[in-house]
Structures are given as structure tokens and as C-alpha cells.
Structure 1
Amino acid sequence: MTSGFKVVIPARYGSTRLPGKPLLDIAGKPMIRHVIERALESAAAEILVAADDPRIIDACAGSGVEAMLTDAAHRSGTDRVAEVIERRGWDDETIVVNLQGDEPCMPAALIDQVAADLGALAGVGMSTLAYPIHDSAILFDPHAVKVVTDAAGFALYFSRAPIPWHRDEFLGQHHPVLPATVGFLRHIGLYAYRAAFLKRYVAWEPAPLELAESLEQLRVLWHGERIHVSVAAEEPGPGVDTADDLARAVRQSLLR
């Protein structure tokens, strides 16, 4: 286990699809409190919430973690994490996990896993997780991000499209059966970074591929850097982007 890693939870009030998302109620508590609880269950040495609105700061009071008000103009949660690193003055080799503020059902074991994975890879700046796909509906769902890796587990590409495309099996089929010879992977939006890498990342302009797919991790590949992808030890619960996601998260939280 990598000791001493940090968790930063970026939380944005101004969500387009679900305004005030971090404060939405899940089983009697605002969503951000559930995310904090998942982080507290991990082995992180320090946890901070990076928010864009004082109402989120207020919701974190008494949670046991510090909440920091960050620049409301940030384009992404990654930019918020980078601001925390800069303001805290964390060492370049510090491993920081970005646990997004809309992941109330993320298992703590996966937070530990992504940090440990990066800690074991000298010279690598970023790691993430994926989970096997066995259902063609997920593979062809544009809301589910897919990833293809090389033999060493480094990302070749992320896409909302079904990748890899199996020419012989998929051509002309509306509901294809997934061939057993291909290991399809759904990307899990949980990241670990070395602090020095993230400082470089936020200085780069958004890449054309990133803008086309609306996937900020493609900026890393565009600039020729590597992202290591490990297969998650367990399947995470639902993140919350829509009202239906929120209902699923409520059901899962009630079962905890």
C-alpha cells in the first residue's frame, strides 16, 4: 500500500444537468458527505474538498475534512485539484487521488488501489482504473467511456465510441454478442497523479481529441505522456450525472 497519498474531492455547484449536485440528498445527507465518507474509509493521509461555492463548504462542516473554496472559473475538477496542490505546496512526488464529488458509491478499496498502482510505477505521472465490459449495451453507450490499453497496461485511447471495434463480429449487427477474445474495458473516472505531472497538465491547452470526445484525459495522450490503467479490484457503484443516476445512488446507499 502506498502510504501518505492525498485525496482531493473537486465539487462543483454549477452543474448543467443537476444544479447544486453536491448538495442533493442521498439517504438523508448531501451527496458530498457520502463522497467524503468513502475517502475517509481509504488509507489516505490527508483529504480535502475543493469547492466552487460557499454552500458546499458549509455542507462539509463537521465532516472531519477541510473544505477549500477554489476559483469558480475552473473548467474542470482537475484544475481544482491542481489549485489545491499549488496552494498547499505539496512536493512534486506527492501522489494525489482525484475523487470526483459526484462519486458517492466509489469503494474505498479502489481509491487505495489507484494510489498504490501509481506509487509502484517510477517515472509515470498518472494512473486510473477500468472494469471489464460483458454487456454490449454498455459498450455501445456513449455515456460509458471505454479504454484500450497496450500489453503493459498503458492507455492507447479513451472513447465514448465502442473500442476496440471488432470488424467481423460487429459489422451489420444491431445488438452484437461481445466476442470472448477481446477484453473490453469501461473506464472508471478515478485518477491518481504525481503533483509535478498535474502542474504540467494544467499548463497545456485542451487538445483537439479532448474537445471532440469531451474527455480531458485525452490531453495527456495528445502530449505524448502515459496513463497506466489497472483493472479495478471490484466494480464501483454509480456516479451521478443524471436524475436516474441519483436514484440508483440512493438505492445503493440504502443498502450499505
Structure 2
Amino acid sequence: MTQPAEEKTLVMIPARMASTRLPNKPLADIAGLPMIIQVAKRAQEAKVGRVVVAVDEQVVFDVVQAAGFDVVMTSQHHQSGSDRIFEALQKADPDGKAEVIINVQGDLPTVEAEVVRASLRPLDNPSTDIATLTVEITDEHEKTNPNVVKIVGSPLSDTRLKTLYFTRATAPYGNGPLYHHIGLYTYRRAALEKFVSLGPSPLELREKLEQLRALEAGMRIDAEIVHSIPLGVDTPADLEKARAILLSRQS
């Protein structure tokens, strides 16, 4: 008997307490709940698979467990969210039943369920190792802002790109749309295992973009084009925006 798609998919949410710009970020209150619980609820609303939170502090573990979500403790010394979810995957699914892992960052409390579901679509192509998301840039300032990571990609359809490069520069040159990369990844299990086994790559270190490690290793990343950018909470101002968004949804 084959497994239903939801049983083959894990949504993993890495959460770390060591944020310099927003201390104790996972526990910040948003509309009456800690941020990490709001993220877990958004992931649960997507209804794509089991949700597991990967934490590095006992206080966050206790909060997540009390809210009724699966949670695993991971090392405080991981260099990236990918490393953290790989450790969590081994603990949460030691028998290897999950074939697909969605990495939803722990600071996306307003991410929409449809955006999470969209991250699965590129894996319809068996040649795709990793899926991610992108949105067309409409703000002229963002086109030259190095904090807005751009995807250079070859169109596969009206809603999908085969990624060729990720960059902080304004690229590609010439007339045509530019695409803002959204850092939500969906991995085939074997692709995640390969990715975390690789050392940092030259272009990754130069651009300070972890996903370039996969491209330099010959892995294929396809990006689904969506129409909204999830709010990443990195600063107190972002936190206030997230509170306003979720309070407006509740009302």
C-alpha cells in the first residue's frame, strides 16, 4: 500500500533563540500567542503533512509541547537552518518514512497556507531536487537593494523558473522581470542529506547565500512564482507589523 502524500511530507520549523536584533524572538507575543506557535499554526493550516518544530532551548521546547505540536531539541551550534532541520529530521523520523521536507522559517508568523502548499509544486518534476518560491519585484528600490535576493532563472512556465543563480546584485541585465527570492525551501530527503554533507562553496561564501552551495554541486532548484512575500520578523518594527496583520485577520 502506498503512503498518502501527507504521510510522506514533514513540515519542519527551525527556531533559535540567539537573535541579536530581536532577543527571544520565538517567544515574542503576536496576537496572544508566541511567534513560534503562530508559525506552527500557519504550517498546520496548509494541511500538507506533519508539523515538527526544531528548537535549541528548553524554554521553547516546553512552550511548543504545551501547545500540542511535535517538537525536538537540536544543537545550539548549527550554522544554518538546513543543518538544524536535518538533525531534527533524524530524531523525528528515524525510520525514513518522510520523503519530502518543507523548511518553513520560524520567523514567518503570517505566512499563508497557499504559499506553503505552492512550495511543493516544483517537485512534480522528478528531476527537481529542491523547490523554493519567488515573486516578481514591483518596487524599483528593491531591484537595486542588496538585501533583496534575486533569482536568475529560466522560465519553465508562467508560474515556474528553473534557477540558474541567486544574487544580491541587480540581475539579470536588460528588459524583463526581476524576481525576489523567498527563503522557504522544500527538499527531497536525499537532496537535504546531500546538501548538509557539502561544505560551504566559493559562491556561497562570496554572496553569503547558502542556496548557491546546492547549485555549485549540480543540484537542481526550481522556483514557484507566487504573488505575496511572507513577512519575516527580524526587528521590533517587523514584529509590530506581524501583530497588526494577525489581529486584522482575527477580526
Cα distance in structure 1, aligned partners of 2:117 and 2:95: 19
Alignment of 1:47-66 (within 5 A): 47-66=51-70
Give the one of 25, 30, 42 matched to 1:38. 42
For the 8 Å contact 1:2–1:116, the answer to whether it is kept is no
Q: CA RMSD in A?
A: 1.8
How far apart are residue 27 of structure 1 and its match? 1.9
How far apart are residue 16 of structure 1 and its match? 2.2
How far apart are residue 217 of structure 1 and its match? 0.5
Give the one of 9, 14, 25 matched to 1:10. 14
**Between Structure 1 and Structure 2, how many residues are aligned?**
240
Please state whether the residue corresponding to 1:251 is helix, strand or coil: helix
Give the one of 242, 245, 248 matched to 1:252. 245
Q: Which residue of 1 aligns with 2:194?
A: 200
> Given the two structures, how large is their TM-score scaled by the length of structure 2?
0.90
Alignment of 1:29-178 (within 5 A): 29-87=33-91, 88-89=93-94, 91=96, 94-118=99-123, 120-152=124-156, 153-166=161-174
Taking structure 1 as reference, are residues 52 and 64 closer, same or farther at Cα in structure 2, changes over 3 Å only? same
Corresponding letter in the other structure for 1:151: P
How far apart are residue 243 of structure 1 and its match? 2.2
Cα distance in structure 2, aligned partners of 1:98 and 1:189: 9
For the 8 Å contact 2:39–2:110, the answer to whether it is kept is yes
Taking structure 1 as reference, are residues 154 and 2 closer, same or farther at Cα in structure 2, changes over 3 Å only? farther
> Given the two structures, how large is their TM-score scaled by the length of structure 1?
0.88
What residue ranges of structure 1 are gaps of 5+ in the alignment?
A: 167-180
Deviations 1:150-208 (A, max 9, x none): 13321111112222233xxxxxxxxxxxxxx4121111111100111111110100112
How far apart are residue 93 of structure 1 and its match? 6.8
Cα distance in structure 1, aligned partners of 2:143 and 2:34: 31
Cα distance in structure 2, aligned partners of 1:39 and 1:67: 14
How far apart are residue 254 of structure 1 and its match? 1.5
Deviations 1:61-115 (A, max 9, x none): 3323111110111111111111122232253870110000011111111111112
For the 8 Å contact 1:23–1:30, the answer to whether it is kept is yes
Identical residues among aligned pairs (%):
38
Cα distance in structure 2, aligned partners of 1:92 and 1:187: 30
Taking structure 1 as reference, are residues 229 and 237 closer, same or farther at Cα in structure 2, changes over 3 Å only? closer
Cα distance in structure 2, aligned partners of 1:125 and 1:93: 15
Corresponding letter in the other structure for 1:251: A
Cα distance in structure 2, aligned partners of 1:33 and 1:9: 10
Taking structure 1 as reference, are residues 63 and 19 closer, same or farther at Cα in structure 2, changes over 3 Å only? same
Cα distance in structure 1, aligned partners of 2:101 and 2:94: 13
Please state whether the residue corresponding to 2:141 is helix, strand or coil: helix
Deviations 1:32-79 (A, max 9, x none): 011011011012221100011112112213323111110111111111
What residue ranges of structure 2 are gaps of 5+ in the alignment?
A: none
Cα distance in structure 1, aligned partners of 2:181 and 2:98: 25
